[in-house]
Amino acid sequence: MVVYHDFSAEESSGGVDDLGSEIDAVYTRPFADHYVGGIKYAAYSAKDGGKVDTDKVWLFVTANF
């Protein structure tokens, strides 16, 4: 699944109203009888206000009983 987020302020504060955007992706796959493994990726692209671009990756395993 891929999701796009656009972060904007309802009101400008100090000339800042565009807070950036982010794209997120997640992939999961079941294994064994009760487990799911996955990977998530998020890429934030900063705009106004001195924010910093950020990329993050998560690996995870969940158990369902």
Name the nearest CA neighbour of 25 among 7, 6, 2.
2
Per-residue pLDDT of the chain (65 residues; tens, 9 = 90+): 999 999 887 777 666 778 889 999 999 999 999 999 999 999 999 887 677 899 999 999 999 98
**What is the pLDDT at residue 15?**
67
**What is the pLDDT at residue 47?**
82
Annotated domain spans of the chain: 2-7+18-63
